[in-house]
Amino acid sequence: MDMGAEKTMPEHAASGTSINPRSSPMGMIHKRLGTWNLMFHGGAFLADEQQTGPRGGDKFFAPNWFMGTAEHAAGGGTFEFRSMLSLDPATVTNRSYPLLFQTGETAYGQPLVDAQHPHDFIMELSAKYTHPLAQSTSLLLYFAPVGDPALGPVAFPHRVSATELPQATLSHHLQDSTHIANEVVTVALLRRTGRPMSVWDRGPYRAYQLGVYIDGARAVRSLGPQRLADCALRAYVARNAYGIATQAGFVGAVASVVPSAPRRLARFGIPAGHG
């Protein structure tokens, strides 16, 4: 079955509908179970932080994450079910580990400074359906009770440059603040342009994504069904080792953490990647 544009980037896809540069695929274990294609990858570290000082601290912890997908042909297209989990809530005690100059997260309702919040146990639970519209064009529908909206760059845990980093990057909360959100819906048009040398390589790859979602940090305070409140628009172009996107969105602020913050923020950016 011809999967259209989606067939050009199966291992370049990151969380949600974000995409890594095509020269930087993520290594996965592939298995076939009947008519299902299964993929799995993950990482785990033992870390001993020694940041003793007026602002630092010491801690032994074990950051980790795991991702599994199940893919099956249906209705002329492909369904993919994805989960991303982490045991950090059990292996990183007190909901934080020392990280000098880090800001932007919370633990027990209080802002963290010089410390990093661990991963959530559930970082993504999603379903994605991709249907070819033409030889080089596909329509993608994405829904996630917990997932990554079409806003921001590829989040740091999914960038190939960070695969050997046990700690979060200092830019994490500035760049990836929405990478775990609730009730995410994204509609995307995927297109491969140019004349490919093979079905896996060459030719620019483009994705146009429109989504609505609830900001994850705000939604975590009230469980259950919620109104889709925030929205985002992202256009992405990739060619071999390079990828660049333009994006815009409206994000609900967390007033309980920053009382003076506006209730709604506009976010714009042009993230670029190289791999």
Q: Residue 107 has what pLDDT?
A: 78
Task: Please report the DSSP string for 8-52 in residue order.
Answer: G-TTTB-STT-B--TT-PPP-EEEEETTEEEEEEEEE--EEEE--
Band (43; pLDDT cuts 50, 70, 90) = confident
Greater model confidence, 214 or 20: 20
Domain annotation covers residue 105 = no
Domain annotation covers residue 158 = yes
Domain annotation covers residue 211 = yes
Measure the CA–CA gap between 159 and 15, rounded to whole angstroms.
10
Measure the CA–CA gap between 43 and 38, rounded to whole angstroms.
18
Q: Residue 5 has what pLDDT?
A: 42
Domain annotation covers residue 115 = no
Domain annotation covers residue 108 = no
What is the rounded average pLDDT for all residues in the chain? 75
Top mean pLDDT of 105-109, 116-120, 191-195 is at 116-120
Query: Are 138 and 132 a contacting pair, CB within 8 Å?
Result: yes
Name the residue range of residue 143's domain.
4-43+63-86+123-274
Among 3-17, 52-66, 102-116, 168-182, the range scoring the smallest mean pLDDT is 3-17
Q: What's the number of domains the chain is made of?
A: 1
Residue 72 tokens read as 């099956």
Measure the CA–CA gap between 60 and 207, rounded to whole angstroms.
41
Greater model confidence, 2 or 86: 86
Greater model confidence, 250 or 54: 54
Measure the CA–CA gap between 127 and 245, rounded to whole angstroms.
23
Q: What is the mean pLDDT of residues 22-38?
A: 82
Q: Residue 110 has what pLDDT?
A: 78
| Exposed / middle / buried, residue 52 (Cβ in 10 Å: 0-12, 13-18, 19+) | exposed
Half-sphere exposure of 262 (CA within 13 A, CB side): 6
Domain annotation covers residue 111 = no
Tell me which H or E stretch contains 216.
Answer: helix 216-219
Band (85; pLDDT cuts 50, 70, 90) = very high
**Which residue in 77, 117, 75 sits closest to 254, CA to CA?**
117
Residue 236 tokens read as 């992405």
Domain annotation covers residue 49 = no
pLDDT in tens, 57-82: 899 999 998 989 999 999 889 999 99
Domain annotation covers residue 100 = no
Q: Given a cut of 80, is residue 97 above it in pLDDT? A: yes
Q: Given a cut of 90, is residue 218 above it in pLDDT? A: no
pLDDT in tens, 130-173: 898 887 788 888 898 888 888 777 777 777 777 788 888 887 87
